[in-house]
Amino acid sequence: MSDNSSQGGVSGLFLLGVVFVALKLTHVIDWSWWWVTLPFWFGLAFVLGVILFWGLAMGFIRVYRSRRQK
C-alpha cells in the first residue's frame, strides 16, 4: 500500500475570495468589486512577479557577461 500524502486542495486566498463574493452578493459588505476580487488576483500577480524578476535577472547576467568579456 503506497502512502500518498500529496492531496489537491483549495488555497486560503481562493476561499477568502469566495467568502468576499458571497458577502458582497448578500449585501453584507459594501466594498467595490475590485476589493472583493483582490484575493483572486494574488496568484496571477505572483506568477507575473516571478517572470519579471527572472527576466530582469537574465538581462543583468547578459550585460555582466558581455562587459566582463571586453
| Most distant pair of Cα atoms in the chain: their distance | 66
Q: Specify the 3-state DSSP secondary structure of 31.
A: coil
The 10s digit of each residue's pLDDT in 11-56 is 888 899 999 999 999 999 999 999 999 999 988 899 999 999 999 9
Q: Is the pTM of this model over 0.75?
A: no
15 and 38 Cβ atoms separated by less than 8 Å: no
Q: Specify the 3-state DSSP secondary structure of 61.
A: helix
